[in-house]
Amino acid sequence: AEELKIAVGAMEISDKTVGDVMTKIDDVFMLPDTTTLNTKTVAEILRMGYTRIPVFAAGDRNNVVSLLFVKDLALLDPDDNFTIQTVCNYHQHALRFVLHDTPLRVMLEEFKKGDYHLAMVNEIVEHEDQDPSYQLQGVVTLEDIVEEILQAE
């Protein structure tokens, strides 16, 4: 029965998209680039338990500019009071965007290349009087796709 579930899951990813399995933006733990990395904020980041944290600029959650990796915090001295922006500028982890209607199969192939394992999910919003813009919808990771294949809820 477990094998059948996996087989069904593997077939089902063919008609699903990134938007179907992503973590929605309201549930994404992200931080402003101006955050000071002191004992209190580092403790909060560790408590959340995520490995990768999207970082936004200008107080705009739609404007994600970098990724903070929790492992970047390991060698930090909390008394230095570095900002997230300083740490991110130093590490420069690749930040990738995909559109919400990207087929899961395509996303899986992309993750399998191994360059990155979390992507920001965007939607294109049309406007009457100006160029289309991007609206951030969430994040997707390899785990979200694997869960879909294993039919784990």
Give the binding site for ligand ATP (CB under 6 A).
23, 27-29, 50-53, 97, 99, 118, 122, 134, 139, 141, 143-144
The token pair at 94 is 């690749």
Q: Which is nearer to ligand ATP, 15 or 101 (CB)?
A: 101
Q: What is the amino acid identity at position 18?
A: V
User: Smallest gap, in angstroms, from Cβ of residue 97 to ligand ATP?
Assistant: 3
For residue 11, the minimal CB distance to ligand ATP (Å) is: 21
State how far the Cα of 148 lies from the Cα of 115, in Å rounded to an integer: 21
Distances (CA, A) of 46 to 29, 85, 104: 12, 18, 30
Residue among 3 and 37 whose Cβ is closer to ligand ATP: 37
Residues 6+ apart with CB under 8 A from 68: 31, 45, 52, 53, 54, 55, 84, 87, 88, 93
Residue 128 C-beta: closest distance to ligand ATP, Å: 18
The residue (of 97 and 101) whose beta carbon lies closer to ligand ATP is: 97
Virtual CA dihedral for 37, 41, 45, 47, nearest 10 degrees?
A: 150
**Residue 35 CB partners (closer than 8 Å, separation 6+):** 41, 83, 84
Quote the least distance from Cβ 99 to ligand ATP, whole Å. Answer: 6
Task: Give the nearer residue to ligand ATP in terms of CB position, either 28 or 149.
Answer: 28
With respect to ligand ATP, which residue has the nearer C-beta, 80 or 89? 89
* Closest approach of ligand ATP to the CB of residue 132, in Å: 9
